[in-house]
Structure 1
Amino acid sequence: MTGDVDSPFWWSDSTGDVHVAFTSAEAGNVATHIGDSQAALTNRADLAQHLGAAPRFLDQVHSAEVCDADTAGEAAPTADAWVGTASAPLAVLVADCLPVLFAGIDRDHRPITAAAHAGRQGLLAGVLERTAAAMRARGAQSVTAWIGPGACGGCYEVPADMLEAVAVNRPSIASRTSWGTPALNLRAEARTVLESAGADVVDVPGCTIEDPQLFSHRRSQRTGDPQGRFAGIVWF
């Protein structure tokens, strides 16, 4: 977790020229479709000022669609992941789903970045496999993936029939809540998928339902906490 009190980040890290970060609830909601859209735009502007460049956002629909960030126009493309070679920060919005950030280098040492929104629907539909494949298609010789904070396997309660149906072909996703009911472990499944795709995985621990420094859709429905979305961002 970042120790800079003036930072908008809940967690950030740098490896060489690669920077990855996840914003905090204290930095405000950055999703324009939730709550006060003008406040969200102001929070995005503050984030851009901190980064020194405006992060780019997707129109997310819980799909497995991966788009090309280099050819996307100014308007947010409808997809749940994107891959690019430009230097602009790529972002995804989450509040229980997993934000997964990617970085790689091609054989000519050019950077390739990607960001994916991996909730239950997108994860099961293959959004992470498709993102890793898109990076390889761009020439990435190696891929590192950071799995950010999301609803943990001890909190993400689901109906028993859903768990049974999903876990048949994905045993690593099966979990139980801390109170003993059926649950899904999206993080464990994401790691399994990414490692199978040949990615080096970095786990960024954190449960959105348990940590009030992060937005959580499920927690807000239960407690009345402010709704919002935080961002996962990757840039060179």
Structure 2
Amino acid sequence: MKSIFTNRIGGYSTGVYESLNLGLHVGDEPTTVNRNRATLTEKYGPIQFMDQIHGNTVVSIKNVQEVLPPCDALVTNQPGIALAVQTADCIPLLLRSEGVVAAVHVGRKGLMNSIALRAVSSMRDLGAREITGLLGPSICGRCYEVSQEVSDEIIAVHPTAKAHTTSGTPSLNLSRALIVELQNIGVDATDVGVCTQENLEYYSYRRSGVTGRQAGIISL
């Protein structure tokens, strides 16, 4: 079983996408993005990427496909297939169990859509028992400033998401809320504790606007 969280170092993209941009949808040259992706394929074998839409769709795959329906979680029980989730502030969640793995895209909408819970359910349908999770680099509660209205909406469902910026304005700690949500269904998860907005080695939509995408990748 292998897993990694990439950063923006070690690729071929230039400008605002420098350098290991893995996102084909952000305005970077497709040939360059595919070259960046190929550097990871050399290490991890065939990689399945998603067309992420902040929804609640989970797709279970048995082989890498050029075209998938839009989704925000991938699950497989097939060795030799790497699953990838792209982010630039949202949480890349990697789930693992004996014989089953998943890659999940969890942002504010994904948390409200219970995408992680749906991914765990799909893993259990494939026979997963002891599932653990790892949350990759994402925007932290000090930086993820939101309006009071958005804060109220989220914490009504996920009270542990409540946070404040260093200046005292409302913000969200999505990682903390996600860990609690997973613990409530018997999944132990840990956070690598790296903030994408604070750390310049990572792409951050909040910090830069037009930017690239890093990825969380997992395989059996």
**TM-score of the pair, normalised by structure 2:** 0.91
| 1:177 and 1:183 in contact (8 A); partners too | yes
1:22 correspondence with 2:2:
no
Task: For 2:176, give the aligned amino acid.
Answer: A
Aligned pairs for 1:1-236 within 5 A = 18-27=1-10, 28-34=20-26, 35-51=28-44, 53-70=45-62, 73-87=65-79, 88-105=81-98, 111-221=99-209, 227-236=211-220
| 1:83 and 1:115 in contact (8 A); partners too | yes
| 1:45 and 1:54 in contact (8 A); partners too | no
Alpha-carbon separation, structure 2, partners of 1:230 and 1:94: 6
| 2:57 and 2:73 in contact (8 A); partners too | yes
| 2:46 and 2:64 in contact (8 A); partners too | no
| 2:73 and 2:103 in contact (8 A); partners too | yes
The alignment-based identity, stated in percent, is 34
Structure 1's consecutive aligned runs of 4 or more residues displaced over 6 angstroms after TM superposition are none
Task: For 1:194, give the aligned amino acid.
Answer: L
Partner of 1:3: none
CA deviation after TM superposition for structure 1 residue 92, in Å = 0.6
- Can you give the 5+ residue segments of structure 2 that lack an aligned partner in the other structure? 11-19
Alpha-carbon separation, structure 1, partners of 2:113 and 2:63: 24
Partner of 1:14: none
- Can you give the 5+ residue segments of structure 1 that lack an aligned partner in the other structure? 1-17, 106-110
RMSD (CA atoms): 1.3
**Residue aligned with 1:26, SS:** coil
| 1:56 and 1:76 in contact (8 A); partners too | no
Alpha-carbon separation, structure 1, partners of 2:64 and 2:194: 32
Alpha-carbon separation, structure 2, partners of 1:170 and 1:145: 19
CA deviation map 1:150-198 (0-9, x unaligned): 0100100000111112212211011001121100111011101111121
CA deviation after TM superposition for structure 1 residue 72, in Å = 6.9
Task: For 1:75, give the aligned amino acid.
Answer: V
**TM-score of the pair, normalised by structure 1:** 0.85
